[in-house]
Amino acid sequence: MMASLVFDTGLVLLVMAVAGWAILARDPFAAVVGFVVYGLLLALVWVRLAAVDVALTEAAIGSGLTGTLLLGAAARLRGDEAPAAERPGPLLRFAATLLSACVAAGLAGAILRLPENAPTLAPAAAQNAAATGLGNPVTNVLMAFRAMDTLLEKVVLLLALVGVWSLASDRFWGGRPGPRYPVEPHGALSLLARLLPPVGIVVGIHVLWAGADRPGGAFQAGTILAAMWVLVMIAGLSDAPQVGQRWLRLALVAGPAVFLVVGLGGLVLGGAFLAYPMAYAKPLILAVEFAMTLTIGATLGLLLAGPPERRSGA
């Protein structure tokens, strides 16, 4: 009891210290590293709160994916530092500080004013858990009780990728994203990119499969697969694909498309959009999750690769 209290207090203090450091760091690279460490510590906090699904997502998306995106942005900024004229003046900085402080105070006030017994649907979700045949209540909520949210989330992800692609200049439209990374056949990165993906792909599929009954699921699995793909691209072992290719586009829409077809099927068989027929709930959910894992992996990998910057051959 005492030991866990000491551990939790230390963890919370560490999270707050790292958060403060990430905000105060002057160098963009250092700030991003601070942010990644913050995310990993936050994942530990979620584990302590027994929310392992959230911890996995925080580590994979909040820390890993967002951290990598921010690192890319920091690397691009380093090339041409913002000219002096574009640096914000003291007034603007003061206003930004004030706004941030007000938002933080508002959030803190809202959380402090929450009622003692927060309204919750958790008992209802737990009561109807048997309806889907899945053992993981989080997957139940994501794939069945709130399936609409999950479907729209996937569409938003696709829109984000379209947003990134729209930054490409006209002549590179449909070309390959990012630079061509040079291969160092005997380098350490090549070694990692050869050794890790077989392990990572197995772990990714395991996380997807385990998601039915234990913590895990399509999003975490897709992120692991995307990480393996990006690793192979950065090591130069495989070039990024041309974004105009048909198979790639099909992979990108597979998840939402299967989800929509199953949802519309529910309209006919189950009586409502996204209603699963009782007898087939589990196989249908698994089919949607498999398609979504493919889509999430492809989308996140291409998000990290960036907008098209080269013609096919270059």
Partner 1 sequence: MRVASDILTVAAVGAGAFFLLAGTVGLLRFPDTLTRLHALTKADNLGLGLVVLGLLPYAQGPSVALKLIAVWLLVMLSSAVVSQLIAEVVRREGSQV
Is 131 one of the binding residues for partner 1 (CB under 8 A)?
A: no
Distance between CA 254 and CA 248 in Å, rounded?
10
Query: Can you say how many angstroms the Cα of residue 100 is from the centroid of all Cα atoms in its chain?
Result: 25
Instruction: Give the nearest distance from C-beta 38 to partner 1 in angstroms.
Output: 19
Is 13 one of the binding residues for partner 1 (CB under 8 A)?
A: no
> Strands, E, within the chain: which ranges?
176-177, 308-310
CA-wise closest residue to 276 among 120, 127, 139, 155 = 139
State residue 93 phi and psi, 5-degree precision: -65, -40
Is 49 one of the binding residues for partner 1 (CB under 8 A)?
A: no
CB-nearer residue toward partner 1: 187 or 283: 187
> How far is CA 251 from each of CA 143, 242, 255, 258, 285, rounded to the nearest angstrom?
20, 13, 8, 11, 18
Instruction: Give the nearest distance from C-beta 262 to partner 1 in angstroms.
Output: 33
Window 168-187: contact mask with partner 1 (x via CB under 8 A) = -------------------x
Instruction: Give the nearest distance from C-beta 29 to partner 1 in angstroms.
Output: 10
Question: What interhelical angle do 218-234 and 188-210 show, nearest 10?
Answer: 170
Distance between CA 5 and CA 37 in Å, rounded?
22
Distance between CA 156 and CA 148 in Å, rounded?
12
CB-nearer residue toward partner 1: 206 or 311: 206
Binding-site member from 131, 191, 261, 267 for partner 1 (CB under 8 A): 191
Is 14 one of the binding residues for partner 1 (CB under 8 A)?
A: no
Torsion of Cα atoms, 215 then 153 then 296 then 236, to 10°: -120
Distance between CA 249 and CA 253 in Å, rounded?
6
Binding-site member from 196, 201, 205, 237 for partner 1 (CB under 8 A): 196
Binding-site member from 98, 131, 195, 248 for partner 1 (CB under 8 A): 195
Q: How many residues bind partner 1 (CB under 8 A)?
A: 8
- Do the beta carbons of residue 204 and residue 224 sit within 8 Å? yes
Is 11 one of the binding residues for partner 1 (CB under 8 A)?
A: no
CB-nearer residue toward partner 1: 10 or 187: 187
Is 189 one of the binding residues for partner 1 (CB under 8 A)?
A: yes
Is 199 one of the binding residues for partner 1 (CB under 8 A)?
A: yes
Binding-site member from 11, 51, 71, 192 for partner 1 (CB under 8 A): 192
- Do the beta carbons of residue 144 and residue 281 sit within 8 Å? yes
Distance between CA 278 and CA 258 in Å, rounded?
18
Per CB under 8 A, which region of 96-104, 129-137, 191-199, 261-269 contacts partner 1? Answer: 191-199
Per CB under 8 A, which region of 194-202, 211-219, 258-266, 282-290 contacts partner 1? Answer: 194-202
Is 52 one of the binding residues for partner 1 (CB under 8 A)?
A: no
- Residues of this chain that interact with partner 1 (CB under 8 A) are 187-189, 191-192, 195-196, 199
